[in-house]
Amino acid sequence: MEDGTVDNNNLQFILEELDSLKQAGLLVHPRTLESPQGAWIKVDGRKVLNLASNNYLGLANHPRLKEAAHEAIDAFGVGPAAVRTIAGTMSLHSELEQKLARFKKVDAVLSFQSGFNSNVAVIPALVGKADVIFSDELNHASIIDGCRLSGASVIRYDHCKPESLEQKLSEYYAAGSTGRVLIITDGVFSMDGDIAPLPQLAELAQKHNAILMVDDAHGEGVLGQGGRGVVDHFKLHGRVHVEVGTLSKAFGVVGGFVAGKKIIIEHLRQKGRPFLFSSATTPADVAACSAAVDVLASSEEPVRRLWENTRYFRKKMQDAGFDTGKSETPIIPVLLGEAGTAQEFSRRLFERDVFAMAIGFPTVPMGKARIRVMISATHSQQDLDCGVERFREVGRELQIVN
């Protein structure tokens, strides 16, 4: 426009979209934390029981991690000021990658700024326009975006159904296709808390000479011996080509990594675009991640407590009449149906000092809205009993349980 102002008519589509989300009960209103993560936190000025974070093992405010971050700032400053391939790779990055490789029982590891960046880096580096990806229909958004960026054809198979994958693989090869084949699955699915049938997928990958990749964001620190992940859980070392992990959930900090054979990691150093074109992770974060690996490697007690709490809470919720779906992990969905119901349920919980967020479309399918409860090793049995009782109170008010 002549006066230099923005013509709002050009943005009318945004207003309409926001209004549509509001009417459907899908408009997101993030709450603000005012304390460190823990079993109880301060949110919007209120002390609440925390059933919403990915802080599975309580490491997000662990003194050993905080000390490591402070020491790294003193030694290396606050920022790397470069991408890894120019002047941003510090000794801290190399040390973390070596520790993770030992912890994961793989040849090598390359770390990234996030789990999302890890998927966006590795998928286009493995396949291109002449190739095909077979992806579980409920895989994480970062996998979906990585697949799109690769340019490869994407064939979705039914969620956690090896027979569906086998059928689609057979159809693909019967058509005479000759491109590379990549099979991708989440290890633990973040909305339902179920575990991928990785042994069957490994069999199919071997049978069809396919590359097998697992995104173990919610399995790291949770499954396997001492939290070594879903591959360790199923004892499939050497049979999964690529493991993607995150350092922002059970590890309590931020960042991601790709683990696997040395040849794959070297290929990523040359082709992984977030590695090549985005600044390295900060010294404090890398040092804290490294300390988190040390904590997990030194004791299995946090993982044991996490699973003890998980089994206790799930049974209590089921006994109270709630539908917790097919969860097998500390991710426990409380299925409620419509998004408006889930949002109202979450609001009433917050009024009772329980912080548990509603999840609706498009994160989950229409009609599958829920409160997603995230269990932590930091919760006491008294905390969990309190949570169950508050759920029961709101459930009765909304006539969801008796």
**Residues with active-site annotation:** 190, 218, 249
- Per DSSP, 42 falls in state E
Strand residues in 12-96 grouped as ranges (E):
40-43, 46-50
Q: In what order do the strands lie in the sheet with 331-337?
A: 331-337, 369-374, 358-359
The DSSP-derived string for 168-213 is: HHHHHHHTT--S-EEEEEESB-TTT--B--HHHHHHHHHHTT-EEE
Q: Which residue intervals of 47-197 are DSSP H helices?
A: 63-76, 91-104, 115-126, 141-150, 162-174
Residues in the chain: 402
3-state DSSP call for residue 225?
A: helix
Label the pairing between strands 108-112 and 256-260. Answer: antiparallel
Helix %, strand %, coil % of the chain (to 5) = 45, 15, 40
Q: What residue type is 357 in one-letter code?
A: M
Residue 95: how many other CB atoms lie within 10 Å? 14
Whole-angstrom Cα distance, residue 112 to residue 89? 11
Retrieve residue 272's tokens: 């992984």
CB 232 within 8 Å of CB 225: yes
Q: How far is CA 151 from CA 123, 124, 168, in A?
A: 10, 8, 19
Q: What residue type is 283 in one-letter code?
A: P
Tell me the sheet residues that pair with 184: 135, 213
CB 388 within 8 Å of CB 313: yes
Q: Dihedrals φ, ψ of 124, to 5°?
A: -65, -20
Q: Of 394, 348, 398, 343, which Cα lies nearest the Cα of 370?
A: 343
Whole-angstrom Cα distance, residue 375 to residue 188? 14
